[in-house]
Amino acid sequence: MLNPWMFVGLFLIVGLLIPVAAIVLSALLAPRKPNPIKLSTYECGMETVGDSWVQFKAQYYVFALVFLIFDVETVFLFPWALALNALPFFAVVEGIVFILILIAGLSFAWRKGMLEWV
């Protein structure tokens, strides 16, 4: 037990055993009284009407992509803006270049008509 990695190994074994024990115990102890309603796939929600293989309009993925521009931008720009006074000149320019590249992406999407809902 002197090897510190032993704990990791023990942890792995115990971690695997606990869920296995839970599943085995419930399989042993649980009463089994099946009926058709219990065995049906959907246990909650509305019953489906018609075919469930329908086509969705996936236009929102473009919005998700454009959102990503702003999302990531904020993460990087907050610290940059807060430390603006203390940063060397190069880092300030770097931030501006970053913003310019993102603006290029946004204006590309804008001009392509991606920001309009059709």
Partner 1 sequence: MTQLDFYTLLPVMTLTIWACVLLLVDLFILSERRGLTAILAVVGLLVTMGVSISQMGREATGFNQMIVLDGFSNFLNLLLLLTGLLGIAVAYGYNRRMGIERGEYYPIMLFSLAGMMLMAQASHLIMIFIALELLSIPLYVLAAFAYPRPESEEAGLKYFLLGSFSSGFVLYGIAMTFGATGSLAIPGIVAAIADGTANTSLLLIGAALILVGFGFKVAAAPFHMWTPDVYQGAPTSVTAFMAAGAKAAGFAALLRVFVVAFPTLSDQLTPIISVLAALTMILGNVIAIAQTDIKRMLAYSSIAQAGYMLMAFVAYGNPAVQAVSVASALFYMVAYTITSFGAWGVVIALEKAEGKGLAISDYAGMGKKYPFLAACMTVFMLSLTGLPPTLGLIGKLYLFRAAVEGGFITLAVIGVVTSLLSAFYYLRVVVNMYMKTGDPEVARETWLDFTIGATALLTVVLSVVPAGLFAWASQALFIALK
Q: Which residues bind partner 1 (CB under 8 A)?
A: 90, 101, 104, 107-108, 111-112
- Residue with smaller CB distance to partner 1, 11 or 112: 112
The H-assigned helical ranges of 30-59 are: 36-39
Cβ atoms of 114 and 62 within 8 Å: the answer is yes
Closest to 80 (Cα-Cα) out of 67, 65, 69, 90:
90
Dig out the tokens for 41 from the structure.
Answer: 């796939």
Q: In angstroms, what is the minimal distance from the CB of 70 to partner 1?
A: 19
- Residue with smaller CB distance to partner 1, 38 or 57: 57
Q: In angstroms, what is the minimal distance from the CB of 90 to partner 1?
A: 5
- Residue with smaller CB distance to partner 1, 74 or 107: 107
